[in-house]
Structures are given as structure tokens and as C-alpha cells.
Amino acid sequence: MDKEVVGKRSSGIASHIYPKRLPQMKAGPITDEMGFTLSERLALRQAWNLIRPFERRYGGDIFYGFLNDVYWGINKFKDNGKLNMKALHTHALRFFHFIGLLIEEKDPVVFQLMINENNLTHSRCKVGSDYIVNLADALVDYVLQVFHEISSPTLERGFRKIVEKLMSSTDQQPINTS
Ligand code: HEM
């Protein structure tokens, strides 16, 4: 008789004999489709509920602090050589708000679409992936520092995963500092 058939039959019989095989164990914490554990998700959502009222202030602190180091970035907000203050201030809020929207998004497809769309915008503006990740890192460091009293390793892991998601989706783009 065919070896494969014998194998199948015996495993069929084995399933009726006691003691039964234990179901395969999944080691480690269970993650959702986006790679977050339940506690990371919860920690991120709870933290963002506290952060949300300060979006404008924190967004400004982080983005303008970032531009102090990455000074060429300000050129991206110039129209015909003149600084577009409205666009600059709007970005300080929108980049921060965007991270909040990612945290709240439950659908993995929409989550990925949001990241792709954001990458497209920055490719068009010739903003390199490294800089997107640097700004996201600055946001995480800032928030963890401001909320150090309620911060936890779980919250930090959750935030670092958000940065990883931005990184893994942007690392095919060229770096451009012009
Ligand atoms: C975590 C990193 C970042 C996030 C989440 C983010 C988010 C956003 C969002 C939500 C928009 C608006 C998109 C739209 O209108 O459809 C935007 C536009 C833009 N971003 Fe970012 N951004 C990030 C990093 C950066 C960096 C590092 C720069 C360069 C200094 C930059 C430059 C721009 C520019 C030039 C625009 C277009 C602004 C305009 O149309 O007025 N972004 N970004």
C-alpha cells in the first residue's frame, strides 16, 4: 500500500484513541493582524485619549524641534521662496493627528492604505523615508517623556511598533534632502 495512504489512515485512527494529542500550542503573546498585542493596543488607545487634547501643542513642539535639527525641512514649506506659515503650522498638527488616527484604526487594510497614502504624499514632496521615521521617533520619545508617570514597557513597545510600520513601508523610497 502507498506510504502516504498508510500514514493518513493511521493518523485518522490515532485521533479516536485516548490519550489524544494535545492541540498545537501557540507560544508567546497573541497579536492582532497588525502585529499588536491586546495590551499594546489598549495602552496606545488609553495614552492617546490623554494626549489628544494637546495635539496642537505637542505637534508644534515636536515638529519645530525636529526642524531645528533637520533645517532643510523648512524649504518644503516654501512657495516661490516664501515661507508658507499656514502650511507649516498645519503640518505640525496633521502629522501628529495622523499617528492618532493610526492608533484608532481597527481595520488592517485601512491601516496599511493610510500609511501608503502618507508615503505617496511624501514621495511627491521628495521627503525621504529616513526623515519620516526620525520625526515619528521624535514623537514617541517626546510622548513617553511627557507621560513618563503613566508610561509602561507595553506602551513603549506599542509606539515602537507604529514607527516600525512606518519604516517597513517607507524603506523602498529614495532618501532626498533637497
Ligand atoms: C511621522 C512622520 C510624518 C507624518 C505622519 C506626516 C504626515 C503628513 C500628513 C498627514 C500630511 C497631509 C497629507 C495631505 O494633505 O493629504 C503631510 C504632508 C506633508 N508633509 Fe508630512 N508627515 C511626516 C513627516 C514629514 C517630514 C519629516 C517632512 C519634511 C520636513 C514632511 C513634509 C510634508 C510636506 C511638504 C507635506 C505637504 C504639505 C502641503 O501640502 O502643504 N512630512 N504629512
Is 62 or 29 the better-scoring residue by pLDDT? 62
Angle at 131 between CA 126 and CA 134, to 5 degrees: 165
pLDDT digits (tens, 9 = 90+) for 112-159: 999 999 999 999 999 998 999 999 999 999 999 999 888 999 999 999
> Which amino acid, 63?
F
Q: What is the dihedral of CA 121, 124, 128, 129, to 10 degrees?
A: 40
For residue 77, give the ligand 1 atom closest to its CA: 35
> Which amino acid, 2?
D
In a domain, 60, yes or no: yes
- Ligand 1: residues within 6 Å at CB? 73, 76-77, 87, 91, 94-95, 98-99, 118, 121-122, 125, 127, 131-132, 135-136
What is the number of domains present in the chain?
1
What's the CATH code of the domain at 77?
1.10.490.10
Cα 67 to middle of ligand 1, angstroms: 13
In a domain, 25, yes or no: no
Which single residue is written with the C-alpha cell 524649504? 75
Q: How far apart are CA 51 and CA 46, in angstroms?
A: 9
Taking a C-beta distance cutoff of 8 angstroms, is the pair 175, 129 a contact? yes
**Domain interval for residue 144:** 36-170
Question: What are the residues whose beta carbons fall under 8 Å from the beta carbon of 171, sequence distance 6 or more?
Answer: 129
In a domain, 7, yes or no: no
pLDDT digits (tens, 9 = 90+) for 11-49: 566 667 777 778 777 777 888 989 999 999 999 999 999
Q: What is the pTM of this model?
A: 0.83
How high is the pLDDT of residue 14?
A: 67
